[in-house]
A and B are shown apart, each in its own frame.
Chain A
Amino acid sequence: MLFVAILSQIIHADPLSPMGILVQKRGVSSLSFQRDLTPLSASPKRIKIIQIKNRRGLQVQGSEEPLRLYEFEVGSDIEALSEEINGQADVVYAEPLYPVQIFQTPNDTGYAYQDYLKESSLKFLDYIPENEGVVVAVLDTGVDRYHEDLSLNMWQNIADPINGLDDDGNGFVDDLNGYNFCGYTYETPDNDPMDQHSHGTHLSGLISAEQNNSIGIAGINSKTKIMAVKFLDERGYGNQLDAAMAIRYAVDNGADIINCSWGFYRKNTVLEDAMAYAESKGVIVIAAMGNTNTNLKEYPAAFSSVWAIGASSDSEERAHFSSIGEHIDFSVPGQDIYSLINGNSYGFKSGTSQSSAIMTGIVAKLLSNNPEATKSELYTLLKSVSTQSEAKDLILGYGIPDIEDLLLKLNLTEVDEEETVVVSFVGTMSISRFMNYPNPIIDSTTFGFESNESGAEIEIVIYNQLGDKVDSLSATSSSGYNKISWTPDTLLNGTYFYRTIITGTSDTYTKKGKLIVLQ
């Protein structure tokens, strides 16, 4: 057990500490490849040569030496060592390589259910036709490409079928379904960008889940193709170098928009260069502001070329977790957003990650109607219809795009009711955040949960540790957050078990849980 505990501490020592130092030196002579730095106060345990390649697999740094990644022992003062290296001759820059992570408040932070496609101005998105031709790269934890509500909308690089060869010569073998840059820094990338976390799948669903297929949800522009570009692991962690490689891959392989729902508060030249590369190719990069509820700048959102998106609440104010700052461009809903979960499942997530994806979906829809529109034109259009178009602030940026106003700008009229695209949740009862609170129970507790279905029958049975039933509750659900109170009058202190069965019109939800009576 002690070994496991220590190993766990090492693995999770500090997920936010730098992973090494990226060093760019001047290529002053052919001998420079052989020449290393003068001795440092701490010796690197490994030095890696990093090749940042273009679409033909060539080094993109021109005459410069390749990047080098200096790795040090855990606990080394990477910041101080960077300063040491920066002070040496022929060093262009030496910067810590920071990790990045997804922006996601836990699902259990508790917000009222918000049907963002029905109750905000986003409902008017239905009146904007959707067209094919737009590719959105979701740079994230990957995408569940087999998800029932998304599989038909996955981008494929048909020029490179899976046959062990780099058929299209883009430097990546068998990247038919995208690519997994997770571990590129350590030479362990692969061609399988499957999502092991659900974050990337959730975002992809918001952008492009199938519409009117009688299952699941409706993406904002369901004719968008999702390019799965993975660089975050199953915990939602990655690093800026892998991110930079993923961005270059997306740009080189035809992405029109790149969604970045992740970041870190320290910037890095490699990442900035990649963003500049995307900018130079006319690719729109949309990124999440972050969920720190502070003015801490997160990158890539804080890069000037990137659209930084904050989260708004259902009252069209800033969501309490959403970061602020002068770099924020727009805000869109980001609380309790319902979308896809790995394995043909669905669920709620909150965060500026979701806001970024929703904005990505909006831009994809606009772009699908006018493929010639430039990034600047789209930005100006959205700014002109946003709630604070003339008074940008640090809180909401230009505010929340008013899609109804946008319809007028685009000279689109509302389509007939019968032709309205149905944003449906048909066939799926969704129950989330089921728990009793408070726990431990001093006097009484409440069983609470989110439901999208009213009239479902709820039965909660409480058992003791011998498996004997000690109490039961029954109720009927309503749409939204449900509460069922319970007072354990005669029970002794201890742990008890409960089992819930919620029977809806189409589905049944079950959950087993533990609660503590401590009076």
Chain B
Amino acid sequence: MMFGVTRSNYLFGGIVCCIIFLSSQIVASSYVDAAFAEYTSLGQATTAAQGNVAAAFSNPALLSTLKKSFIGSQSSSRYDSDISIHNIYATQHIKGLDLGLHVPVKQISNISETEANNSDEGVEIGSLSDIQIELQLSVSKCLTEHVSVGMSLKGEAHKLANETAKGIGLDLGLATDFNSVNVGARIENIVSKKIWSTGEEESLPTLYHLGVSYSPFETIMLLSDIVLGETKTLNLAAITQLTKNLSIQSGVADVLDTKKWGLGLDLDLSGFHITYSMSSAHVLGANHTLGVSLAY
């Protein structure tokens, strides 16, 4: 495998260095749960899901595997409406670089504010909320016909109860393929810092994702992810192309423990994609996500 050096390689490398430099200066970090239908319908096994726009915002290297540019929006209700997430996103190929922009907004409302009364028993005194907005800028570059790398810079503003925080984080990704096997890798939060109005500083744990996908038939793709961090998680999924315009997705996140299943479908109407997923977090309730996007 050759790694030829061109002008665009220099440009990409410069951007990477610039982003890493900036991320180390801005001293903040953020993380908003993935807001895409595919994230749940594929059981979070998205690291090697080549050609999938939602997966490209998990593993930025996958941006270079998209055949078209996308613009879209999705809305998600999690745990029987305890959490609502809305996002907008767009991807574009510009001068050898594949760029992605993603803005998710998450809101959790009606959180009881409580305190102890004079008898040291709990009393409810009000209601609190948790609101996060994130700006994710992703860039990907094909190094060779079969290898691409990417990164995502994430900026975040967070209001939690009466405190606020600002943060920044950085993910790196890699995508490659060998015959009909696709391999993806992602280092999530390789840089991460978040500063609260209380003065507290936090860093999100760095997670290492390794994904493999394989298509035994033209209409089926099997996916698996291993996530290594403080715990180890195995995620499995499958994408089945039922017709030219309709595919269904199914997956199980954390197969070895909580087994959160997900189902979804993607309907392609002449470039307009309608995406829906539902999943279960068992005792916490059901998740539903609906989205629409335009591929051009």
Contact = CB atoms under 8 A, between A and B. Distances in A.
Interface of A: 106, 108-112, 433, 435-440, 446, 448, 461, 463, 465-469, 481, 483, 492-495, 497, 499, 512-516, 518-519
B112 A513 contact: yes
A492 B230 CA distance: 13
B284 A469 contact: no
Q: Which of A433, A467, A519 has the most CB of B within 10 A?
A: A467
Contacts of A461: 283
Interface residues of B, number: 40
Q: Which of B114, B122, B161, B284 has the most CB of A within 10 A?
A: B122
28 contacts: A108-B122, A108-B124, A110-B119, A110-B122, A110-B123, A112-B119, A435-B112, A436-B114, A439-B111, A439-B112, A440-B161, A446-B122, A465-B78, A465-B108, A466-B281, A467-B79, A467-B260, A468-B258, A492-B204, A494-B130, A494-B160, A495-B108, A495-B111, A512-B284, A514-B112, A515-B111, A516-B128, A518-B160
Nearest to B163: A518
Q: Which of B117, B258, B283 has the most CB of A within 10 A?
A: B283
B161 A516 contact: yes
Nearest to B281: A467
Contacts of B260: 467
A1 to B, nearest CB: 13
Contact of B122 (A112, A448, A466): A448
A516 B33 contact: no
Interface in B277-296: 281-285
A467 B282 contact: yes
Classify the secondary structure of A's interface with B: strand
B113 A439 contact: yes
Given A435-B114, A439-B112, A440-B128, A110 B165 contact: no
Interface of B: 33, 78-79, 82-83, 108, 110-117, 119-124, 128, 130, 160-161, 163, 165, 196, 198, 200, 202, 204, 254, 257-258, 260, 281-285
A437 B281 contact: no
B111 A469 contact: no
A439 B202 contact: no
A516 B111 contact: yes
Contacts, number: 108
B111 A514 contact: yes
A437 B83 contact: no
Contacts of B285: 512
A495 B130 contact: yes
Contact of A497 (B33, B82, B123): B82
Contacts of A437: 114-116, 121-123
Contacts of B200: 493, 519
Contact of A518 (B108, B112, B124, B161): B161
B59 to A, nearest CB: 17
A109 B117 contact: yes
B122 A436 contact: yes
Contacts of B257: 469
B193 to A, nearest CB: 12
A502 B120 CA distance: 22
A407 to B, nearest CB: 33
A439 B281 CA distance: 24
B117 A465 contact: no
Contacts of A108: 122-124
A433 to B, nearest CB: 7
Contact of A112 (B108, B121, B130, B258): B121
A199 to B, nearest CB: 19
Contacts of A436: 114, 122
A495 B122 contact: no
Given A437-B116, A494-B130, 8 more contacts: A111-B119, A437-B123, A439-B113, A467-B284, A492-B202, A495-B130, A514-B108, A518-B198
A435 B33 contact: no
A500 to B, nearest CB: 10
A438 B198 CA distance: 18
A272 to B, nearest CB: 37
Contacts of B204: 492
B284 A435 contact: no
A248 to B, nearest CB: 39
Contacts of A440: 113, 128, 160-161
Contacts of B83: 465
A499 B113 contact: no
Q: Which of B82, B114, B281, B283 has the most CB of A within 10 A?
A: B114
Contacts of A494: 130, 160
Contacts of A448: 121-122
A435 B130 contact: no
A409 to B, nearest CB: 36
Contact of B114 (A111, A112, A439): A439
Contact of A466 (B33, B163, B282): B33
Contacts of B124: 106, 108, 435
Given A108-B123, A435-B122, A513-B112, A493 B196 contact: yes
A437 B117 CA distance: 10
